[in-house]
Structure 1
């Protein structure tokens, strides 16, 4: 009972940290570009996140399969409570730390690092990392580059057409819709990842739907209470932007995240959305380079941090 309760708290902590770090990312350009106030963007972000999380049980099956640990760690290790707790705790600790330090990092990257760390600690020599590299690491590495390039090119070619005064109402509507789509698809993409960890530990006999709903509610609360720290970085500190540039970045983010979800690829909404902002900064020459370099460094450190945390916790649980 104590182990089940501990596991439940750790998974809830991961969902909460995910909401605090990730919920606002889809609407950062709405606030940064001036189309919505912070409170308006906050409502859109958390509402779309909750809806996406609730529907993820039907829409996120492909993503959930990759994060179940099957075909990566042997069945005996997967069945152990020590592995499940270390897996969840490594990811949760990494995302919590990043949120406190105001770095928008990838929960997906944290989960992958934690999965590898806990697996290596408890079954060294029998961990198959190839699926993680193929379906996880490569998309994570490529997505910010693709997002930055697409945003740069899109703005240079057609983005400026949104600057005409007569299209401002249409532009604002499209911007809100694209931001909602990013938050919704982000929740559809992330909720199954956390749910797969919860179900790995048995989730105290809860049904799949109950697990998904619980994670969605906790994730939303994380964003409701602590979104402001990451919102300030995403909306104001990476680059200056106008509303038209913000729409262009969000349109690219929405397209890439939804496309990746359909293919079951472990693309990070963080890497895509921040990559799109990098593209805007490169185009308008207003990027805050020091902040961008700090964020990139935090991305580099995410996977090893999660790996080490999970590895240490798994080793301690095995003592």
Structure 2
């Protein structure tokens, strides 16, 4: 037997190299979750540098820069927490991919914050407490710092506990608590708090009613018709046109002074935008309808386009409303000093402050949004595109109206109110609608119609009980958030004053 040739390689070296490769793979796997927090820290550092450039010539630069970091952190939390409410339904209905949804939401959030965020920012920064008195006594900066820090702590704690809290409730409660801790109850503008609290109660109910109304319209004129496709081809472009026209009019009202453009001119421009949107949407819907059967599954396909539009509108409304939760206190701190870059007291927030909040929300949703969107998108698949469209459109409309009035409302609770409005309406419509019963009788050619889920009364009661219990969880979180965040803000304020003043 011939001798084997001598091996010129070192097996141990290959094994050691393989071990190093495995170590590198392990490190890459372990550090992957740290990438998003690392990018978030980089954003906060850039925000602080950005703020330092603008306030370098004013007193208490360090405090302002620290407040900017807290505001940026709040904005990241808002973007990470609420993005799924805005686009989760569209992703779950497969109307848009996750990357496209993230980019769309980020752009719309920035536009909403910069174009329409002014009234709510003014309310949070100037109207909840008497900022003039707080500034004169030198307490305003510490008050708003305590509000930002305590609201961020409470939101993080509630997220860890999986409690459905509102960032709006948290920051409003924190400002009130810190204000009372600094100067007593007299510093709080209780009439403003009464208006805000009333809006918190009214807006979810209003959104639910609007969602039910939209769904009633769709069921009446599209779903329960002999030719569903014909109804969809006619009405979906109309809905898209109405949505675009109303939104264009709102933007003109928010951005154009009355002396530059009259109300009738704004209405005419909005009408023109609506007609243009109708003309664009009509051939798209007709093209989508080719080859579709006369079934509800076909309607799900045709409603993807308006669902994406309503999701974009909801993201815009969220940016207009929730940016104040992050930068309202920061705007008050910036206004407390004098500089050529600082807006006068009672005026609009400086643009650089708004941009930090808007970009922070967008960075938060880009970094932490995909996981939440997947979660909500998978859980919300039973909310088909028609119902999801009603929820998104009603929530966006309600939040936009509240934002234009300067009322900081919870976009999350408004969206939940829309979902419950759709759910309660469907329960009523299933039992009481003569149109639906006549349609089903005609289709089945039977006198008695009994759907499978209607045969099991116990199952219906169980589902309703679960829905009511979830509703009570939302109410409990709303009731708890304001006093808890207020108490925490008072404690943080006293601690800050004891340590630094």
TM-score of the superposition, structure 2-length normalised?
0.57
- CA drift of 1:117 comes to 0.4
- Give 1 or 2 for the bigger CA radius of gyration: 2
CA distance in 2 between counterparts of 1:74 and 1:39 reads 42
Preserved contact between residue 249 and residue 276 of structure 1 (Cα < 8 Å): yes
2:384 paired residue number:
242
2:104 paired residue number:
44
CA distance in 1 between counterparts of 2:425 and 2:378 reads 16
2:236 paired residue number:
none
Give the match's secondary structure for 1:240: coil
Among residues 256, 265, 278, which one is paired with 2:420 in the alignment?
Answer: 278
Preserved contact between residue 121 and residue 315 of structure 1 (Cα < 8 Å): yes
- CA drift of 1:247 comes to 0.7
1:62 paired residue number:
119
Specify every segment of 5 or more residues in structure 1 that has no aligned partner in the other structure, as ranges.
none
Among residues 81, 90, 98, which one is paired with 2:150 in the alignment?
Answer: 90
Among residues 477, 487, 493, which one is paired with 1:308 in the alignment?
Answer: 487
Q: 1:227-238, aligned counterparts within 5 Å?
A: 227-228=369-370, 230-231=372-373, 234-237=376-379
CA distance in 1 between counterparts of 2:64 and 2:325 reads 19
- Structure 1 residues 74, 171: closer, same or farther in 2, change over 3 A? closer
- Count of matched residue positions in the alignment of Structure 1 and Structure 2: 316
CA distance in 1 between counterparts of 2:415 and 2:195 reads 19
Using the TM superposition, name which of 253-262 and 61-70 deviates more.
Answer: 61-70
1:18-49 deviations in whole A, cap 9, x for unaligned? 11112332222213344334444333222321
- Structure 1 residues 300, 71: closer, same or farther in 2, change over 3 A? closer
CA distance in 2 between counterparts of 1:190 and 1:130 reads 21
Preserved contact between residue 128 and residue 192 of structure 2 (Cα < 8 Å): no
Among residues 174, 191, 208, which one is paired with 1:114 in the alignment?
Answer: 174
Preserved contact between residue 95 and residue 105 of structure 1 (Cα < 8 Å): yes
Using the TM superposition, name which of 159-168 and 307-316 deviates more.
Answer: 159-168
Match status 1:158 vs 2:201:
no
CA distance in 2 between counterparts of 1:40 and 1:292 reads 31
Match status 1:27 vs 2:159:
no
- CA drift of 1:183 comes to 0.5
2:320 paired residue number:
188
Specify every segment of 5 or more residues in structure 2 that has no aligned partner in the other structure, as ranges.
1-60, 233-298, 343-349, 428-462
Q: State the structure with bigger RCO (CA 8 A, min sep 6), 1 or 2.
A: 1
CA distance in 1 between counterparts of 2:99 and 2:413 reads 24
Among residues 119, 130, 134, which one is paired with 1:73 in the alignment?
Answer: 130
2:160 paired residue number:
100
- CA drift of 1:170 comes to 4.9
Using the TM superposition, name which of 187-196 and 165-174 deviates more.
Answer: 165-174
RMSD (Å), alpha carbons:
2.8
Preserved contact between residue 92 and residue 380 of structure 2 (Cα < 8 Å): no
- CA drift of 1:239 comes to 8.4
Using the TM superposition, name which of 42-51 and 110-119 deviates more.
Answer: 42-51
TM-score of the superposition, structure 1-length normalised?
0.86
- Structure 1 residues 4, 259: closer, same or farther in 2, change over 3 A? closer
- Structure 1 residues 302, 125: closer, same or farther in 2, change over 3 A? closer
Using the TM superposition, name which of 29-38 and 301-310 deviates more.
Answer: 29-38
- CA drift of 1:232 comes to 5.8
